[in-house]
Chains A and B, each alone.
Chain A
Amino acid sequence: MDRRSFVLLSATGAVALTIPVACSGFGTVRYDPILNQPQSLTSLLTPDQISSIGKKYREKVPKEKTVNAIARKLLDDISAEGDALIAAIDKKIKKDFETGNTAFIEGWVLSVTEARQCALSTLATQNA
């Protein structure tokens, strides 16, 4: 499949679109919605736990309270989709643990990347 469902983000909200992967406009970040799912946690935590972690992360890091801000952080050096995106995020998570870039939220010891994914997930749900 050469086209995927993407999310166009803006300061006012998110709209689900079906567009190519390459585009990226000023002030908005388009990303594969697969990014909303913290793959490293979905088999260990319930959706409610993921949501709760996401909310707590946003409280703890108020600078990252918008989808745009979080998505930018997650995708800072990644331009991939689908499995490649998952692999790139996995790599980022591993690097987080390697460098101590971790978040301690509701008792869970998480990589900051996966905590951001939880936060993104809650915002995407809110905005859906």
Chain B
Amino acid sequence: MHIDARKLPDNSVIDGDICIVGAGAAGISIALDWIDSPHKVILLESGGFEYDHEVQKLINGSTTGQKYFPLISSRIAAFGGTTGHWAGMCSPMDNIDFMKRDWVPHSGWPITRQDLDPYYERAHEALQLGAYNYDLAYWQEKTPDLAEFALDKEVVYTKLWKINGARFGQLYKESIEKARNIHLYTYATLTNILGNEGLSEIKEVTIKNTAGKTHTVRAKHFILAGGSIQNARMLLASNTQSEKGVGNDNDNVGRYFMEHLEIQSAEIWLYKPFRAKLYSYSGDGGVYGELAISEKAQREHRILNGTAGLVPLSLAKGQTPRIELWQDDDPRKSMDRLIKNWTEAALEAKAELYGEDEDSTAPKTAEEELMELLALFDKLSMTNSFETQTRIEQSPNPDSRVTLGSERDALGMPRVNLHWKLSEIDKRSIRTIYQLIGEQMGLAGLGRVCLKEFLQDENDNTTWPEGTNAGWHHMGTTRMSDDPKTGVVDANCQVHGISNLYVAGAGCFATSAAPNPTLTLVALSIRLSDHVKQKMNAI
């Protein structure tokens, strides 16, 4: 059922068994898992069902360090969260991503890929991704023209993504509203977390909204699922009982913020045109490949895990770096600007290669435009020159962090500052990835690789070009570790030292791997859901 918290009498008290704070991919995935259970689930959403700029302003903050997107438009504060406009790219992390790597400071998860595998499968259902199968041969059997580059897989292989931009807000609104035991409260923004004396157990949270109402939610278990930055903010700002905030005895909350570096890095020049359908973004239902570096080569060269996406050079040369396009406070306007740029770049490339279409100016629906754009991507993918876009994990860095600022939002919550900081290994790894791809392209006799200017000086691992993009992927602010001194949550996503407080989402990632985080964060959330169920059944 759905309740608009603005319409409740002021100072209402809401009771439940479980309180999930945030109705994005993580929160909704957990709530769905509890439908028809005997437990009363309170699902809190800061916004409503539609985009509301007044609510969106609540997540604004400042940024320092490496240039970043405006925080206000890097997430969506509404039911469904940022799935409201994501590209739907999903791929599981690799085995090595969970391991302690002596060349990657602060690496290592307390769980393995095998621990997550059953949950990846369940996450596939929530994300409506179809078969949990990332074996290229399986997909080539279904779509024979998914040719891959014939490279030595011991060094460079093709890693697969599945694509489905599942809009959780639309997909699951009805199921959540109809579920008798799920009580969704919109316009319910958490402003404080209160525990017992000693803060070993959470008793209640305070919620507020832009209508000026304040309410209290009491539950047996609390799950923070508001996104990595907002989760850290909630913990840090809840400092009425502990000056450092909740779960922050060891000063780890907000630290180790990670993003995916998504950056134009090299050009691949082939001797013969190659039909790169496999490496071309094909929209919902498709599979998509990027060149990836084997675990063996990562170990040998002591580099991070990263991949190279291919964009036909004719298309890439008209594309503006996303970090420049996405600077509006309103995410919808930034998205429009991005799509416009991609469309114009594709049309320019098409005109250059094939001449103008007579009906290119005819009015089209948004869906027709998207389909045309994807068809154009496909057409342009038959070429002998590509620009590569790196997609790489960021080395965990304690100085890359979210802190509270002095400014407050309309509900009195301190706003955050994000200091995004990169490390030398990040840049060295990108360079090495392309040197390895270059060697393999040469060895296979396919062509040669040329790295972009910013990577050419092997002694410079600190400067980054203006167009250094991120992926809008916020990770690591409440990282997972068995040791409370090095992490905020344990292997089950429970906040260390607090028996009934958990964090769901990419904030729990100890390292960020190369793939987009949604599949893994949903898998991890479902795993957390199981853990809470076990704990409740044990009572």
List A residues at the B interface (Cβ < 8 Å). Answer: 40-41, 43-44, 93-94, 96-98, 100, 102, 104, 106-111
Contacts and interface: CB of A to CB of B under 8 A. Distances in A.
Contact of B435 (A40, A44, A93, A102): A102
Contacts, number: 53
B161 to A, nearest CB: 26
A109 B442 contact: yes
B390 to A, nearest CB: 14
B452 interface: yes
B271 interface: yes
Contact of A107 (B271, B439, B443, B456): B456
A41 B448 CA distance: 8
Contacts of A107: 266, 450-453, 455-456
B285 interface: no
Contacts of B451: 104, 107-109
B448 A94 contact: no
Contacts of B458: 104
A10 B187 CA distance: 84
Nearest to A101: B439
B449 A108 contact: yes
20 contacts: A44-B269, A44-B447, A44-B448, A94-B443, A97-B443, A98-B443, A102-B438, A104-B451, A107-B450, A107-B453, A107-B455, A107-B456, A108-B438, A108-B448, A108-B451, A109-B435, A109-B438, A109-B441, A109-B450, A110-B442
B109 interface: no
A47 to B, nearest CB: 16
B467 interface: no
Contact of B450 (A93, A102, A108, A111): A108
Contacts of A102: 435, 438-439, 442
Determine the interface band of chain B, counting residues with CB < 8 A from chain A: 20 to 34
Contacts of B438: 102, 108-109
B271 A109 contact: no
Contacts of B449: 108-109
A100 B439 contact: yes
Candidate in A100, A102, A108 with the most chain B CB atoms within 10 angstroms: A108
Nearest to A98: B443
A110 B448 contact: yes
**Nearest 8 A/B pairs, CB to CB:** A109-B438, A97-B443, A97-B442, A107-B451, A107-B450, A44-B269, A107-B456, A108-B450
B434 interface: yes
Nearest to A100: B439
A56 to B, nearest CB: 10
Contacts of B442: 93, 96-97, 102, 109-111
Given A43-B271, A44-B448, 20 more contacts: A44-B269, A94-B443, A94-B445, A96-B442, A102-B435, A102-B438, A102-B442, A104-B451, A104-B456, A104-B458, A106-B456, A107-B453, A107-B456, A108-B438, A108-B451, A109-B434, A109-B437, A109-B442, A109-B450, A111-B442
Contacts of A40: 448
Q: Which of B434, B440, B442, B458: most chain A CB closer than 10 A? A: B442
Interface string B246-257: 000000000000
A98 B439 CA distance: 8
Nearest to A104: B435
Nearest to B272: A43
- Chain B CB count within 10 A is highest, among A43, A44, A93, A107, for A107
Contacts of B440: 97
Contacts of B441: 109
A109 B448 contact: yes
Contacts of B448: 40-41, 44, 108-110
Nearest to B454: A107
Contacts of A97: 439-440, 442-443
Contacts of B455: 107
Contacts of A104: 435, 451, 456, 458
A109 B452 contact: no
A40 B448 CA distance: 9
A108 to B, nearest CB: 5
B202 to A, nearest CB: 54
Most buried by B among A41, A98, A102, A109: A109
Nearest to A105: B456
A23 to B, nearest CB: 33
Contacts of A100: 439
Nearest to A109: B438
A43 B447 CA distance: 10
Interface in B436-495: 437-443, 445, 447-453, 455-456, 458
B269 to A, nearest CB: 5
A5 B448 CA distance: 30
B415 to A, nearest CB: 42
